[in-house]
Amino acid sequence: MGEVSNNKMKNRTVSQLLYAQMVDMGGIPVRQPFPTLRVDQIDPFLLLHHADLKAPKNTSPDHAGVGPHPHRGFSPVTFIFKGGVHHRDSRGNDSVIYAGGAQWMNAGMGIIHSERPPHDIHEIGGRQEIIQLWINTPEAHKMDQPAYYPLVAAETPSFQTEDGKVLMKVFSGTLLGVKGPIPSYTDVNAATLYINKGGKISIPLPATHNAFIYLLDGKIKVDGFGLVESLNAVVLNKDGDGISIEALEETRVLFLSGEPLNEKVVSHGPFVMNSETEILEAMRDYQMGKMGILIEE
């Protein structure tokens, strides 16, 4: 069974194709397919940043990357494709995750973290390629205690087609019978796919979920739509049972589906809440030190 398929599955149609334009994030160039003027969010997914960076050789890894900054009210999730990321936060978490793994942090009521290259970044190729995805937290849980879930590649459950052309790594939720270990306040399926040329896969989707895929490189054919080239997000309508894709070139794909929250979103910088008042409270709490302190040593 080289191709995973379900002859009865009606594939969803494509709602939008969102090209990941280059934007500047505090001096760091990243690609951002959404939010855009056309698409504010793909509820519960708020933002996607794709960065492929060369680690500077004239700067210590301890001072490269992204320094300490706060978050409240959502989960910043980092998928690592090349190199690694050294995460430290104000709750005492300190870990390095390398290519193929992920760092899933629920910011909850507030946390300060930094994301640096690991000390051995130049020994492992000198590049960091990551995707950071912001997943909204339901209003009822925005002020929960923060939590951090590191997951290394070797411990990430995976699914492979019999012809070996498609490898899917599942981080959260359940896809094709494979359950990801990371818990989420929202019902979310999160996976990465590594597909060789000619590889095909069909993935069923819960009827109520919003869903999209993001193509890091290569080219694919989306069944019922056609060619999609690299650096595009494919947003799906809720009019079918799943998605079927075929790789026209070797490719890497991020796959996400999630139950929409259908709640008001008010965001300001690193805070995502439900009202302007809660944003002001978040800013005040951060300034008062209520999100803790992170001293990098």
User: Where do the structural domains in the chain lie, given as residue ranges?
Assistant: 14-287
What CATH class does 14-287 carry?
A: mainly beta
Nearest by Cα to 90 from 269, 281, 291, 271? 291
pTM, two decimals, is 0.94
Sign of the C-alpha dihedral computed for residues 24, 25, 29 and 33 taken in this order: negative
Interatomic CA distance for residues 235 and 214, integer angstroms: 9
Interatomic CA distance for residues 150 and 93, integer angstroms: 10
> What percent of the chain has pLDDT above 70?
97
Sign of the C-alpha dihedral computed for residues 101, 201, 11 and 248 taken in this order: positive
Per-residue confidence band for 67, with pLDDT thresholds at 50, 70 and 90: confident
* Model pLDDT, residue 7: 56
Interatomic CA distance for residues 146 and 25, integer angstroms: 24
Provide the 3-class DSSP secondary structure of residue 25.
strand
Asked if residue 293 has pLDDT above 90, the reply is no
Burial of 57 by CB count in 10 Å (0-12 exposed, 13-18 middle, 19+ buried)?
exposed
User: Six-digit token pair at 84?
Assistant: 């690694």
Phi, psi of 59 (to 5 degrees): -130, 135
Per-residue confidence band for 225, with pLDDT thresholds at 50, 70 and 90: very high
Interatomic CA distance for residues 261 and 263, integer angstroms: 5
Phi, psi of 262 (to 5 degrees): 55, 45
